Structure 1
Amino acid sequence: MVNISALLETFLYLITSSLLYPVLLLLSLSAVLILVCVGSFFAELLERWRLLKYASEQLPDIIVNNQGHRIFSHHARTYIACLRNMLNNGASDEFAVEALFHEYTRNLLKTLDHLKILLKLGPALGLMGTLIPMGTGLAVVSQGDLSKISADLSVAFTTTVIGLAVGMTAFVLLAIKKRWMEEDLLHIELATELLVVKHAERR
């Protein structure tokens, strides 16, 4: 009589074992990607450190007089330049302006997606990379193959550390970039309202 339980256990064991190398590959790619994100983060941090400070009551005049080159981030400057070109070319339709605003803000928010993915994916892959080799290592305990057990435990602990490091780094970067993005969105929204009103007054 066929032992269904043994067949299922063998089937699941084969699936689990086959997942180890894809997990290690994805974890390695996640580590490379988070390093790229760190480099990009420090480049943007350096840019924002160089921006000039301003008083809140000066912000409308800065936008209207186009004096934000050393005050706004490149995200806000790019949007304001596109909006000015649209208005100067006669595209003063409120739906066109609204479409530009929503498209740009949506693209801006999408830049955080990779950090959100790494925040969840890093620890999850680290946990999988821990449990899979530990399971195969325990399977050979009865055989007394200490070198195999040692290698599996080394992989397990390494993947745990890398997964947690990816997740923690993504969390810190995401928290800071969200704060930057809120500031950029404030500038973008205010610039939209001011420039549209000024353009309507000149017509």
Structure 2
Amino acid sequence: MSLSQLIETAMYGLSQLFMLPVLLLVTVLFFYAFHALGRFLMQARQRRRGDPRAQELHAALRLDPSLGVTDLEAIAVHRLETLRIATRVGPMLGLVATMIPMGPALMALSDGQLQEVSRNLMIAFSAVILALIASAITYWVVSVRRRWLATELADIEKRGCRAAAHEQGGAPYDDPLAPLAAEGVQ
């Protein structure tokens, strides 16, 4: 066996070792996407009802009034981080899960084992479909939540400017969250 054949065989064997972990990650990503979708729908319902718990940055500010805009931006980025990673990693995992079974499928095709070809292609296409569905769901959720968080941050900045104007003798500052904070709602 030549060095080239040895390297090719080693690479093929090594790539096959990743099949199970990649399929498990695609499965976890798929279920995570639906978990994130459920949380998103619950938050959307809370926002429609005016529930202050749905306002994540306002809640963080009520817990720690010393937070600045930069701190709130960091909180927003942190809240979206896992979703953003899932959105980007999903298609990559889907591609890997498609390519790994192609080697055995092509080998089976050369041996005339059509049933084995069919089984490997079924795995390949199922994995990529689940990964893309998961990525589409998480992309949608992260896009809407990013808008919500940006709107909250803009609202907090605007209120901060009005509060500063009030302290300098400007118009009175009317904080709509003040009654909630007085009631202990977080």
How far apart in 1 are the matches of 2:136 and 2:145? 14
Q: 1:154 to 1:111 in 2, by over 3 A?
A: same
Shift of 1:141: 1.9
- Contact 2:57–2:149 (CA under 8 A) maintained in structure 1: no
1:53-202 equivalent positions in 2, closer than 5 A: 73-82=54-63, 86=65, 97=66, 99-195=67-163, 198=166
- Contact 2:57–2:76 (CA under 8 A) maintained in structure 1: no
Q: 1:72 to 1:185 in 2, by over 3 A?
A: farther
- Contact 1:112–1:174 (CA under 8 A) maintained in structure 2: yes
Shift of 1:198: 4.6
- Contact 1:73–1:184 (CA under 8 A) maintained in structure 2: no
| SS of the residue 1:144 aligns to | coil
Shift of 1:15: 1.1
How far apart in 2 are the matches of 1:75 and 1:195? 21
> RMSD value over aligned CA atoms?
2.3
Shift of 1:77: 3.3
Deviates further, 142-151 or 113-122: 142-151
1:29-48 equivalent positions in 2, closer than 5 A: 29-48=28-47
How far apart in 1 are the matches of 2:59 and 2:168? 22
Deviates further, 173-182 or 143-152: 143-152
- Contact 1:23–1:125 (CA under 8 A) maintained in structure 2: yes
Gaps of 5+ in 1: 52-69, 87-96
How far apart in 1 are the matches of 2:48 and 2:52? 10
User: Partner letter of residue 46 of structure 1?
Assistant: R
TM-score where L is the length of structure 2: 0.80
Shift of 1:76: 4.0
Q: How many pairs are equivalent? A: 169
Shift of 1:146: 2.4
Shift of 1:135: 1.4
- Contact 1:79–1:188 (CA under 8 A) maintained in structure 2: no
| SS of the residue 2:14 aligns to | helix
Shift of 1:194: 3.6
Shift of 1:149: 1.5
Q: 1:8 to 1:72 in 2, by over 3 A?
A: closer
How far apart in 2 are the matches of 1:153 and 1:106? 43
**Greater RCO between the two (CA within 8 Å, min separation 6)?**
1
Gaps of 5+ in 2: 170-186
Shift of 1:152: 0.6
TM-score where L is the length of structure 1: 0.74
- Contact 1:133–1:155 (CA under 8 A) maintained in structure 2: yes
